[in-house]
Amino acid sequence: MKDEQHKKSTPKDFFLNLGAIVAIYVSVISFLNLLFTTLDSILPDSADYYYDSYASMRLAVACLVIAFPLFMLLSRMLNKDIKKNPEKENLGVRKWLTYLTLFVTGIAMAVDLIWLINNFLSGEITLRFSLKALSVLVTSLLVFGYYITKIRGEGPKYEKLFAWTSVTLVIAAISFGFYVMGSPFTQRLRNIDEKKIQDLQSVQSQIVNYWQQKEFLPENLQDLNDPISGYVVPKDTDKNVDYVYKIMGMTSFQLCANFNITNEYKNRQPTPTAYYPGTSAKNETWAHPAGEYCFDRTIDPALYPHPLKGVKLEPFQ
């Protein structure tokens, strides 16, 4: 009998079972990652540092869209094969991978729970924490329940229940993720606006450097072009126009651009972006609404003095 089962364990059996296992690993990890990042976005904690959670959400959605249907397809193929060949239910490779899944899933869930408890002890006693803990609990129960019924030989009895429950949860998570981060078209607009912010940061840095060297602001942005250093003032390629620069005082100026969408995050205080010379850190924010918007900047001479000011130059001998 063992020889017969060994003969039945073909490369096809091995790779079908392995593929289903890998697919459910990726699906579970991506599902939890999507839930966590979505909760971080809609329920921000005032103690958090701001970070771009959209990148993690996009990756989680992409993994789920591919891995979960693949898992369902491979599981369907395996179930059909077992119905035709009932002896394959007890294949060694199938049992090994099933128990491995229970072990790895248990470790993964334990690590997630440890992380959640650590956050709880760190002071994250919020609705967000409770929802994360609930999502881990529901996911672990679903995965463990699915594979335990298979080990007990009750898989076909609960197959449809698991399928409909998991499909409903995954579709709901993906839909809510799109609701929070926006459509691919919205993401494209956000990337275009981010490029404009990077351009304005570059221009601001050059303006401050210009002021430090000459102790007055440039009359226009073209004065910043430097053939020696190779710097060329960037242009708004989205609207095919120049960025707007306005002198507001001896050390004050505005930089303006036309933005496609807002980048102001609900229920979150503006957090300074990566440091660029130009103003004090308290003003170094780039939150903006949709449409034409100007950023006010004031150079502090005490913070940005002339590089050689106060330096005594010795006469050349």
List per-block mean pLDDT (blocks of 10 residues) for the chain, which spans 317 residues. Answer: 54 84 90 90 66 79 94 88 78 81 77 77 76 84 83 74 90 91 87 94 94 92 91 92 95 95 60 42 72 94 73 52
Question: Residue ranges of the domains in the chain?
Answer: 2-182, 185-298
Q: Quote the pLDDT of residue 182.
A: 83
Each as own residue / partner, the long-range contacts of residues 126-129 (CB below 8 Å, 24 or more positions apart, any chain) are 126/43, 126/45, 127/43, 128/39, 128/40, 128/43, 128/45
Residues sharing a CB contact under 8 Å with residue 195, sequence separation 6 or more, in sequence order: 237, 238
Residue with the two structure tokens 């490029």: 195
C-alpha dihedral sign at 264, 267, 272, 273: negative
- CA 268 to CA 264: how far, in whole Å? 8
Neighbours of 110 (CB within 10 A): 12
Q: Quote the pLDDT of residue 87.
A: 76
Residue type, 214: K
The closest of 64, 251, 241 to 167, measured between CA atoms, is 64
- Whether the Cβ atoms of residue 23 and residue 74 lie closer than 8 Å to each other: yes
**Residue 97 Cα to chain centre, angstroms:** 31
- CA 101 to CA 265: how far, in whole Å? 39
Where are the alpha helices (H) located in the chain, listed in sequence order? 2-8, 11-42, 54-84, 92-121, 127-151, 155-181, 184-214
Output b/e per residue, 163-179; b: 16+ Cβ within 10 A.
eeebeebbeebbeebee
Q: Quote the pLDDT of residue 123.
A: 74
Residues sharing a CB contact under 8 Å with residue 214, sequence separation 6 or more, in sequence order: none
